[in-house]
Structure 1
């Protein structure tokens, strides 16, 4: 079977130019509860705020469930495209394709999706097909992978390095029996990477209800080749205090595909330690880079929100930083990065 790399494709970094952003519309399910309920209405307002923020910088297409397209269009407002497909949940980063390109043609990796490790609350009868639908809508050639993986479980620097998490790609819930070497080979063959940097785990809150069991995109992300932003929990009362110290130390000792020792930029967490009955995993790392912009989470913590915005302005001086309240999205199990998926420009 031909792989993307064998055909000349690779995954560009998120800061490369985009053709558009893809999102999915929250519908009635165990994550958001029933139609007509307050939780679903609040989720739709939160997703809309992100879509409108991204639309300032680039086109946005939202996939809505069957029969929900007109209501989604009305809520999202003008300038945002809406298409209908059968849909279970609303996390386009994970259910959508990972786009790759050879510089002339667009292609898409369709990972195997099993509801974040067959979580008891998850449904994926329709979501496992969304990557193929989006690839078709984008006019992209599709490459299927047997690896159980999600877009939130990977982050690339565009120069051969990928960040992964042991409890995701190597977890028994997703890929039982696969070795580290086998996982790396499949990842590299589909993304065009050559060096994997493995984090031992994710944030504590990501192993609670509606968690992903350790997605990397809430913990660490490349800001540019050789530089990573890393979640930091300054408060020793939170279990992530030790978790994030270990991850930052690991990344400082790591080298990328070009042989560079990584520069690590720590981003302090909001001061709220608990949320929704468990440990808060509020993280500014779960931001989204779009054309000329950074859509950054905020958490009603004026001091830390302001500090994070200033830090990202220094990291991305050529981009405009826009903050969107992400507490409702985190309550459902993710953040701004989790509900967006970039389609690179070719």
Structure 2
């Protein structure tokens, strides 16, 4: 069989999310926890305006989820510790040779490299749970990988990062060839583009070591949407320049040079934890729309919406405040996972 991961712009059946559960990621104080619940809920309601949403909820959070979430949102119960659905859940694929068949790649998840702080053993089972709930054929993988660590154009190109898939804490002994072979088997990737690195903060104690979905996206074949930190006072200014030069020498699966579209970062350079990794690249494409990260900066948020409207023509762009998401380690793309539509 030939599995293929569609572009994120392909028609979707629904979006999957996981409701926050108490633990280190959610926060230590009541105020922090409430802010986390509210942030995940706001994203779910924004997505539900465009397409169905299914929320996986830990049994201990059942009552809170039913109180906070609209009745438009479907709730399924399963054990949850980490609640970044893009990473803990499956990556959905289709089989061009078998119309109507949905597949779900169940990557091995070990808490982004089994960090001392990550509580991941419950959510490591969510790939299988979600696949079964979606009626998808399970595609098991022994590769330690997360959905936020890949981005595809639906035509064979996959973006990877050397410090993620080749991370010895994830895949000791792996090399490019072995990773690329698994990408071909599971998501139909015929051409890998290996980014040398991700954003600076992502290499801190609580980072993912370079997830691509915060720095680069493929809105259409041959086009790269690139995080652009324009302030030389921020360390990602140099990272943006390095990656822009990198993509100038790359091609996609069809042999086309990439057109790079810069997506400027917000103006805020630091928060309570240090240099920010706030990024508009970490958006979610839905049926007829785009759910964009907002950072409480009217001018920068509007500029990002305008660029997203250009690269996703015909879609309505909606901004949701993502500061509480980023304070916990990710953005809107990180907490969602699209299920592509399949037709017999």
Is TM-score (shorter-chain normalized) higher than 0.5?
yes
Deviation, 1:33, is 3.0
Are 2:14 and 1:17 aligned? no
Deviation, 1:92, is 0.1
Match of 2:73 in 1: 80
Match of 2:326 in 1: 330
Deviation, 1:187, is 1.2
TM-score, L = length of structure 2: 0.97
Write the deviation string for residues 116-159 of structure 1: whole angstroms up to 9, x where unpaired.
01111101111110000000000111011110000000000000
Are 2:192 and 1:199 aligned? no
User: Aligned to 2:240, what secondary structure does the other structure show?
Assistant: helix
Contact persistence 1:69–1:83 (CA under 8 A): no
Contact persistence 2:2–2:185 (CA under 8 A): no
Where do 1:148-297 residues align within 5 Å? Answer: 148-297=144-293
User: Aligned to 1:214, what secondary structure does the other structure show?
Assistant: coil
Question: Match for 1:57 among 46, 50, 63?
Answer: 50
Question: Match for 1:114 among 105, 110, 132?
Answer: 110
Write the deviation string for residues 173-208 of structure 1: whole angstroms up to 9, x where unpaired.
111111111111111111101000011111011122
Partner Cα separation in structure 2 for residue 310 and residue 33 of structure 1: 33
Deviation, 1:249, is 1.3
Write the deviation string for residues 259-292 of structure 1: whole angstroms up to 9, x where unpaired.
1001100111011111232110000000000000
Q: Across the two proteins, how many residue pairs are aligned to each other?
A: 339
Match of 1:40 in 2: 33
Q: Bigger CA drift: 157-166 or 103-112?
A: 103-112
Structure 1's unaligned 5+ residue stretches are: 1-6
Partner Cα separation in structure 1 for residue 323 and residue 206 of structure 2: 14
Q: Bigger CA drift: 88-97 or 24-33?
A: 24-33
User: Aligned to 1:266, what secondary structure does the other structure show?
Assistant: strand
Write the deviation string for residues 97-119 of structure 1: whole angstroms up to 9, x where unpaired.
00001242001000000000111
Q: Bigger CA drift: 70-79 or 235-244?
A: 70-79
Deviation, 1:252, is 2.0
RMSD of the alignment, in Å?
Answer: 1.0
Contact persistence 1:107–1:143 (CA under 8 A): yes
Are 2:96 and 1:100 aligned? no
Contact persistence 2:3–2:185 (CA under 8 A): no
User: Aligned to 1:67, what secondary structure does the other structure show?
Assistant: helix
Deviation, 1:214, is 0.7
Deviation, 1:70, is 2.9
Partner Cα separation in structure 2 for residue 209 and residue 74 of structure 1: 34
Question: Match for 2:2 among 8, 12, 21?
Answer: 8
Deviation, 1:314, is 1.4
Q: Bigger CA drift: 98-107 or 225-234?
A: 98-107
Q: Bigger CA drift: 49-58 or 68-77?
A: 68-77
Partner Cα separation in structure 2 for residue 209 and residue 332 of structure 1: 12
Structure 2's unaligned 5+ residue stretches are: none
Match of 1:26 in 2: 20
Contact persistence 1:31–1:210 (CA under 8 A): no
Partner Cα separation in structure 1 for residue 202 and residue 143 of structure 2: 21
Partner Cα separation in structure 2 for residue 38 and residue 218 of structure 1: 26
- Runs of 4+, deviation exceeding 2 Å: none
Partner Cα separation in structure 1 for residue 133 and residue 106 of structure 2: 14
Partner Cα separation in structure 2 for residue 201 and residue 337 of structure 1: 19
Are 2:82 and 1:89 aligned? yes
